[in-house]
Copies of this chain bind each other. A is one copy, B any other.
Amino acid sequence: MIGIDWGTSSFRAYRLAADGRILDRVAREAGILAIPAGGFPAALEAAIGPWLAAGERRVLLCGMVGSRQGWVEAPYLPCPAGPAEIAAALTRIPYDQAELLLVPGLSTRDAGGVPDVMRGEETKLIGLLAALGSAPALACLPGTHSKWARLEGGRIAGFATQMTGELRAVLLAHSILGRMAEEGPTVEAAFRRGVRRAGEAGGLLHQLFGTRGLGLMGELLPAETSSYLSGLLIGHELRAVLAEAPPAGPIHLAGAEALAAAYALAFAECGLDWRMQDPDLAAHGLHLIAETLA
């Protein structure tokens, strides 16, 4: 079978053996935002045409390709959901060369009844379930919108999104904090200082301005500012999540390398235990969903 994680800005396809081993892979920049109207079939064929020609007949797709801006919109499936619920809710895309099946995104509601959604991350979480089994676990998938999920009984019980990554980006690009920041490599000490700062009184809105105060007084260098801000925001994210759902075991962490490393550093600074997970979780998840289906 073929598994595809097709997001807003990237395309990753895996050719998978019956036992789930990755036989081949293709990664492209062709995220859904780069696809012209009606261009999805051609983009798919350009990427995995040779595998289809070699006889592959089943393709599972997850990610923003199933959003309103994607190929076909797949409705959200409410939590709790595991491989069986997801396999029963696949959306078929009309296509003549293979069976194209779209994985639904998931929805949930928090304690206040406010809805939350994910699209693409559910497949990575299913991949994590394949490794962890049915024991309760807490997973962290950092990104523009970080996802924290509770896994229970072999299903995704619920999750919460944190707008950390996007907030960091808009503050650096468009606020007074960006004007005092100088681009450069991560400064680990400044990042850790930001994480610790999140544990102090005053609240995030005050502490954001404190970044400016430190800069004005020469107590935070321009080259340290973006690292400190990352630490501050991730520190607030962490404290909010842990206040809600303190982990019984290690936090299972999976994400792009640099970002996952930053979260690992924040976990270490807060004395939390974590496990870095396989970057190919989406492939494992797509395989497990297809197996459930077969």
Please, which residues of chain B bring their CB within 8 A of the CB of A145?
209
A244 and B175 in contact, given A210-B116, A213-B115 (Cβ under 8 angstroms):
no
B240 touches A160 (CB 8 A): no
- Measured between alpha carbons, how far is A173 from B173 in the docked complex, in Å? 12
A160, closest chain B residue (CB): B206
A112 touches B244 (CB 8 A): no
Asked if A192 lies at the interface with its beta carbon under 8 angstroms from chain B, I say no
Asked if A197 lies at the interface with its beta carbon under 8 angstroms from chain B, I say yes
A162 and B205 in contact, given A170-B175, A171-B170 (Cβ under 8 angstroms):
yes
Q: Of the candidates B107, B110, B114, B174, which one forms a contact with A170 in the assembled complex, judged by CB atoms under 8 Å apart?
A: B174
Please, which residues of chain B bring their CB within 8 A of the CB of A187?
none
A139 to chain B, nearest CB (A): 16
- Measured between alpha carbons, how far is A173 from B175 in the docked complex, in Å? 11
A208, closest chain B residue (CB): B163
Please, which residues of chain B bring their CB within 8 A of the CB of A236?
203-205
Asked if A233 lies at the interface with its beta carbon under 8 angstroms from chain B, I say yes
Asked if A166 lies at the interface with its beta carbon under 8 angstroms from chain B, I say yes
Identical chains in the assembly: 2
Asked if A219 lies at the interface with its beta carbon under 8 angstroms from chain B, I say yes
Please, which residues of chain B bring their CB within 8 A of the CB of A213?
114-117, 161
A interface majority secondary structure: helix
Asked if A54 lies at the interface with its beta carbon under 8 angstroms from chain B, I say no
A197 touches B116 (CB 8 A): no
Asked if A201 lies at the interface with its beta carbon under 8 angstroms from chain B, I say yes
A79 to chain B, nearest CB (A): 13
B112 touches A202 (CB 8 A): yes
Q: Of the candidates B115, B166, B200, which one forms a contact with A112 in the assembled complex, judged by CB atoms under 8 Å apart?
A: B200
A115 and B214 in contact, given A175-B170, A240-B205 (Cβ under 8 angstroms):
yes
A70 to chain B, nearest CB (A): 14
Asked if A239 lies at the interface with its beta carbon under 8 angstroms from chain B, I say yes
A206 to chain B, nearest CB (A): 5
Besides A204-B236, A206-B240, 6 more A-B contacts (Cβ < 8 Å) are A112-B210, A161-B209, A162-B203, A163-B209, A166-B176, A167-B205
